Amino acid sequence: MAKARAQTPKGFRDFLPEEARLRESVIATLKEVFASYGFSPLETPAIEYKETLLGKYGEEADKLIYLFMDRGGRDVGLRYDLTVPLARVVAQHQNELHLPFRRYQIGPQWRAEKPQAGRYREFWQADIDIVGSASLLADAEVLACTLEAVARLGFTDSKLLINDRKLLDSLGITPKLAIIVDKKEKIGLKQIEIELSQKAGKAEVKQILRKLKGAEEPESIKNIRNYVRHLGGDPKRLVFNPWLARGLEYYTGPIFELKVGGGNLSVGGGGRYDKLVGKFAGRELPATGFSFGIDRVVEALKETGSLIEGEKVASPEVLVAVFGEKLAPASLKVASTLRSAGFSVEVYPDEKAKLDKQLKYADKRGVSWVVIIGPEEAKKKRVTLRDMESGEQETLSLSELKKKLGGN
């Protein structure tokens, strides 16, 4: 028989249980915080029409969209982020949604990027957005929620870099030049000068750099910081950075980038996009939002050794061993009783396996307790409980067992 190739496509990854568990707890924590700020869940398809996606992000980004024809000959593509689908949803369901509409959405995105550390072709984002408010109060709500979420994830040193696209506009920095300016931290001032010179005259480049060096914090950011403070967020975490521009073209106002790990790890970004929804709705609907990069958050958690509350529900607490076909039903009943009592229980899925093999498996799996129901126990309607750490065993009734394991 020919062997099928066991390999993920380039830039795509599998998440084995330990990693998947961490990702799940990050997502659960984010959902909880998002809901506490009044964001409702939204789900949209992985695929959108090509015309929905193109022309919203900017020339460079458009090249990274996965486009293809479906079986019916329709031009479609995989979504590139969650913001453009949101804009489409608000336009499409205008009569059902109440404005200002605040929603969260968590799911995978696809970008045909060159894979590298922290950059994948499939990655997850967790977004919060408020559509239908031009007020900086909306931006402040988004940022207060972001700060709370990042704290709940276990990061103690988060910084939210903040700038305003309007400031860049007023300095004569067009979105195309802004995308170069944004790379200052990555490539340095010298390289920025070189790249800017390819798009603008020498005198203009000099002037842009001089203006950026002397830029003062705009009123918009002062106001957002003030609102964030009243919302219980630490205003010192908001750091004005005139070089911040963000890569996507749809931003029109305040823009944000979330850093952790002493400012080295960028785990999310966002900003105000007042013109995007209008492209679908036919009338202008201002909006603002923030996007956590789940993959980056998980990497940063591992790198900084930060821990999420309640993260360690590693393996099941109890393994119920089986003792041959005849006694298996007794084991299954005990498993069912323990599950109903709220325990995480695994039944060893092979009636013929030797007990020794089952215990070895429990040990590898990190299970705390093994419940054994052999012929003696079955006859007396009792079970043997083995403490996997100490190796001690005792024989108990079912109600004693539940008590011992911490149930009622």
- Judged by the rule CB under 6 A, the positions of this chain that interact with ligand AMP are 81, 111, 113, 118-120, 123, 125, 247-248, 266-269, 291, 293, 295-296
- Of 86 and 328, the one with the shorter C-beta distance to ligand AMP is 86
The least distance separating ligand AMP from the CB of residue 118, rounded to whole angstroms, comes to 6
**Residue 331: in which H helix or E strand, if any?**
helix 324-340
Closer to ligand AMP at the Cβ: 118 or 407?
Answer: 118
Q: Provide the minimum distance between the beta carbon of 294 and ligand AMP in the complex, in angstroms, as a whole number.
A: 8
Q: Which is nearer to ligand AMP, 54 or 332 (CB)?
A: 54
Closest CA to 308 of 40, 39, 106, 27: 27
Question: 3-class DSSP state for residue 305?
Answer: coil
Q: CB 274: neighbour CB atoms within 10 A? A: 17
CB of 295 to ligand AMP, least distance (A): 5
Q: Which helix H or strand E contains 189, and what residues bound it?
A: helix 184-197
Q: In this structure, what token pair is assigned to residue 219?
A: 């009123």
The residue with its CB nearest to ligand AMP is 293
Between 182 and 346, name the residue whose CB sits nearer to ligand AMP. Answer: 182
Strand partners, 395: 384
Output 249 or 295, the one with its CB closest to ligand AMP: 295
CA distance 57 to 71: 27
The distance of closest approach from Cβ of residue 297 to ligand AMP in the complex, given in angstroms and rounded to an integer, is 7
> 269 near 247, Cβ under 8 Å?
no
Report the helix count and the strand count for the chain, using DSSP H and E.
16, 16
CB of 116 to ligand AMP, least distance (A): 9
| Rounded-to-integer distance, Cα 224 and Cα 210, Å | 26
**Looking up tokens 């903040």, which residue turns up?**
162
* Minimum CB distance to ligand AMP, residue 120 (Å): 4
Token pair recorded at residue 389: 């750490």
Residue among 115 and 375 whose Cβ is closer to ligand AMP: 115
